[in-house]
Amino acid sequence: MSTPSPGLIHRWDHNFSILSIVTFPKKKLLFAGTQDSKILVFNLPTYNLVSVLTLGDIENTHTRSSVLCLERSSDEKYLFSGGADSLVRIWSIYDVDSLNSSIQVEEVATVYSLTDIGDIFSLRYLDTLDTLVFGCQNASLLFLDNIFDRILEAHGSHEKNIDKLPHRRYDKFFDSLGPSGRTGSPAPRLAETSSNAIHKYASKEVQMHRILEVPSENIVNYAHNGFIYSICKLCLKCSTLLEDGKKHEHVHSHDYSKNSTAVSECIISGGGDGISKMWFLSKNEKGAISINSVAAKLDNEDTVISQAVEFPFLYCGLTDGVVKIWDLSTKQLVSTLHTPQKYDIISISVYMDHIFAINESGTTLFYENEVVHWKPNQGKMLSSDIFTRHDAPTERQISFLTGANDGSLTLWDLSEVMHSSDWGKSEEFVQALKKQDIDSAEDKSFLNSEEMLETLRDLISFQSVSQNPDTAQQLASRRCASHLQKLFVKFGATKATLLPVKDGKNPIAFALFKGKNLDKKRILWYGHYDVVSGNQHRWLTDPFLLTCDNGFMKARGVSDNKGPLVAALYSVANLVQRDQLLNDVVFLVEGSEEIGSPGLAQACMENRDLIGPQIDWIFLSNSTWVDQENPCLNYGLRGVINAQITVWGEQPDRHSGIDGGLRKEPAADLIKLISKLQDDDGKILIPGFYEPLKDLSEVDFKRLNKVVEFANMGKEITTEDLVTNWTKPSLSVTTMNISGPGNITVIPQSATIGVSIRLVPEQEVGKIKDSLKKYITQCFDRFSSGNHLEISIVNEAEAWLGDPTNHAYEVLKEALTFKWGKEPLLVREGGSIPCIRALERLLAAPAVQIPCGQSTDNAHLDNENLRIENWTYMTEILAQVFNRL
C-alpha cells in the first residue's frame, strides 16, 4: 500500500528565505528565522503572526544579519538565536494572549566572542548545565556556561560593553577581561533560580539586556576541519548511558571517584570534514563546566550538513542525497539511505523511526523499507521541524514544518503519512520511558508480577530479527539492545553498557550486578535478544505484540529467548531490591545468536577484564522441557556444520528441448555429488566421520531411559530414538535452489543444496569440516564434467556436554524439585547453541542449561508461546540458585 503525501494545514509567506525553525509546543508558538534579520512568531492555534522580532538596530543595516539557527529551553521560557552577525541572542518568552493574539518577548542578553568566528551555523542549549554551545564558520566550537548566573551577575551594571560586539570593533583581537571585569565562570547559583529571576525581571519590563563574552578558555579551536554545520544534543539519560560506556573506554578526563556528583551532557557536532564528533560537557559539584576530549569520531566520508538524534541512533544528512545512520552506543554505521534525487540534505527530522530528509527537490520519507518522496509547492527547501501538537486533551497531531528560499513556511499534517498503529504504540512507550528514572533503584514498584509482564511486553515489541534483516529490523535490534541497557541500570546494575561486535553485527548488552559477600562467586547469565523471522500470516495474533490467554503468553521470542531473559533479570532485581544478592551476576545478552553468534567470542576476548577475570558458572536457558509435565535440566547439545554446495556452469539457463543431452548439467552433477555423502542405509561416507565416536556410557543410557519412562513424549519414542537423536551424529539435506524461472523445461545454470551435519562432543568441528570439503571436491573431480564447484560453510558450532553431577546442577536439581514437587529429568538435545563451548573455553567456566518452557512452546515456529507458571517459577528458582552457588 502506497503512503500518501502529507496534508497541508497552513502556509505563511514572507519576502525573504526561511532559514531556521523552532517550535514551542507547550506555548503553541512557532518561531521562524529569516534571511532579512527577523524572527517571525506565529500562534499555532490561530495561525496568526503575533510578533516580528528584528535583530540589531533598525536604523543600521550593518548590525543586522540572517538568522541561521534557533533553539529553545526545555521549559519554553527562552529562545536562543544565532546567525551571520557572529552573535547569539537570548530572548525571554511569555505566554500568548490567545484572545488578543499578542505575546511579550524581551531580549535579555547578547553573547559574543572576541575571536572572529564568522557565521554561527548551529546552536544548542543544555538545560541541565545552563550552557550554550554553538558551532561556527571558522571551525571553532564555543560554549558559555552558567548563562543565567552571568546575566544576574551583570544585572545592575550600567556598562554593556556594546563596543565589543563584532560590528563595532576596531581591533577584533584585543584582550579583554569580559563584561564583568574578569574571565571564567561566576560563582554558581541554582540555574532554575537564576532563570526564573531573569524571567520575572524581564516580564516587569525591567531593562535586562546584557552583553556576555565567551571566555577564551571556552573556545575549542579547529574542533573540525571545516564549517560546523550542525549540533545535536542527547537527553540527559541517554548521555548518562553513553558516558558510562565512555568511562569504560578510558577517554574521560574527569576522576569520577572523587567527583561523584558530576553531571554530563553529550552533544554531537557535524562539520565540513565529514566527521560527526561526540563531546561531553560536565559540571562538577562546584559548578565548573568543562568540555571533555572527543568521545568518538564517526567518519561519514562527506560533508555533514544536518543531523538528528533518536537514541540510540544518529542520523546524518550528507551531500548528494545520502543519509547515514549510526548506532551511538557502539559507534557503528548501521545503514546508508539515498534520496531519489542527489541533492544535499539541508535538514533532517526524525520521529518514531520516520526519517524526513529535506533537500531542494522536496522531502523524502524513509520508513522501514519504504521510500516516499513528495515535492511541496515551495521553492528550495532550507529548514524543517517535526513536533507533536495537543490542541485538545484528547487530540494529538504529528505536524511537520518546512521553510524555503521563496519565503514560504508551511505546516503539514502527518496523520496520513505516519504509520499510526506503530507510532501510537511507540509514542506511549516513549512517554512511559520518560516517566521512568533510570537511576530509580529505590523505586520498588517495578518488581511486581504485572510490571514483569509489562517489561516483557516492551521487549517483545522490538522486531529484533537477525536473519537477513531489513533496515527496520536492524534499527529495531539496536533499539532493543539500548532498551536492555536502560533496564539493567533501572534494576540496579553497577555497570551497564553495550559492547560493539565486528562487521556491524548487533551489539552485546552487558551488565554487572554486584553481590554483597566477601568470598563471592561470579555467575554469568548468557541470553540473546534476537529472534527468527517467520510468516506472520500464520500467526493467530500479532507476533510482536505479547498476548496472554489461558495461562500462556504468546509472541515471537517469548520462549526463545526474551522470556527466560526477563525471568533471570527479575530474579536478580528482586535480590538487589532486598539487598540480598550474595554473588556477582553478570549478564551477557547478544543479538546474533540465531545466525551463529558471529563476533561473540572476539567481543568477549576484547572485554575480558570487564566481564570478569574469574567466572565461576555460565547459566543459560535456551531450550524447553521434553513434554508438558516434567521439569528438565539439559546437559548436552549436538554441534553443527551447515554448508551450501553449489555446482554451476558457464552456459546460461537453457531449454531442455534445444540443449538437453549436449553436455553435463549442473543440477544433475549436484544430485550425483550429494548421493556420495550417504550410502543406501544412511551411513555417512565422509572419511573419518565415525572414528572418534565412543559408546554411550551406561549412566547416560539410564538417564535417557528414565526420560522415556517418565516423560509424556508419545508411545512411538524409544530410548534408542533418544540415543540416536541426542547422542549420535547425523546428516540432513535441508534446502534446494536452482537458477532461472524454475520452469520444468529449463536447464538451470546453477544448482545449490544445503546440508546440515549434526556432530557429537567427540567430533572436532575443524576436522569434520576439512574432511567434508576434501571429500566433496574429490568426488566432483572424478565427474570431469566441465562445471564448477563451490562449497561454503554457512555456520558452525561445537557440540557441548556438561557435567550433571557438578555443584550447580545439584543446586538446580534441589530448587526445581522443591518448586515443582518432582525431580527434574536430565536430558540432552539434538539441536545446537553455537556459543556454549566458546564461552566455556574463553571464560574457563562450566555451563549449565536450565530449560524454561514446555515442549509445546513452538520456538522458531508460528504462535510461539510460554506458560506463565513456568516463567514465574523460573524467576523464583533462579533467585534461590544465584545465592546458593
User: Residue 594, SS3?
Assistant: helix
Q: Which residues contact 851 (CB under 8 A, 6 or more apart)?
A: 621, 623, 624, 625, 631, 632, 633, 634, 827
For residues 848 and 846, give the distance between their C-alpha atoms in angstroms, rounded to a whole number: 7
The single residue of 593, 796, 798, 857 carrying the catalytic annotation is 593
Buried b (16+ CB within 10 A) or exposed e, 854-883: bbebbbeeebbbbbbebbebbbbbbbbbbb
The single residue of 327, 530, 669, 700 carrying the catalytic annotation is 530
Single-letter code of the amino acid located at 860: H
764 counts as catalytic: no
Buried b (16+ CB within 10 A) or exposed e, 194-218: bbebbbebbeeeeebbbbbbbbeeb
For residues 616 and 508, give the distance between their C-alpha atoms in angstroms, rounded to a whole number: 20
For residues 330 and 199, give the distance between their C-alpha atoms in angstroms, rounded to a whole number: 41
Max CA distance (Å), the chain: 102
Question: C-alpha cell of 470?
Answer: 531489513
User: Residue 387, SS3?
Assistant: strand
Residue 14: CA atoms inside 13 Å, Cβ hemisphere, count? 24
For 814, phi then psi, to 5°, come to: -65, -45
Strand-pair category, 275-283 with 263-271: antiparallel
Single-letter code of the amino acid located at 532: V
For residues 430 and 95, give the distance between their C-alpha atoms in angstroms, rounded to a whole number: 27
Residue with cell 576596531: 170
370 counts as catalytic: no
DSSP class of 638? -
Residues in the chain: 885
Beta-carbon count within 10 A of 434 CB: 10
List, in sequence order, every beta strand (DSSP E) within 208-292. Answer: 210-213, 219-220, 228-233, 263-271, 275-283, 289-291
Q: Render 742-799 in DSSP notation, one character per residue.
A: --TTEE-SEEEEEEEEEE-TTS-HHHHHHHHHHHHHHHHHTT--S-EEEEEEEEEE--
Q: Are 623 and 636 in contact (CB under 8 A)?
A: no
For 817, phi then psi, to 5°, come to: -60, -45
For residues 297 and 224, give the distance between their C-alpha atoms in angstroms, rounded to a whole number: 11
Q: Are 574 and 500 in contact (CB under 8 A)?
A: no
**Could you tell me the CA-to-CA distances from 335 to 149, 274, 475 in Å, in that order?**
43, 16, 9
Taking alpha carbons only, the member of 134, 89, 113 closest to residue 229 is 134
User: Residue 53, SS3?
Assistant: strand
For residues 639 and 769, give the distance between their C-alpha atoms in angstroms, rounded to a whole number: 12
Q: Render 425-446 in DSSP notation, one character per residue.
A: HHHHHHHHHHHS-TT-TT--GG
In 3-state terms the chain splits into helix, strand, coil percentages (rounded to 5) of: 25, 35, 40
Q: Which residues pair with 796 in a beta bridge?
A: 641
SS3 of 670-697: the string is HHHHHHCCECCCCCECCCCCCCCCCCCC
Single-letter code of the amino acid located at 638: R
- Residues forming the active site: 530, 593
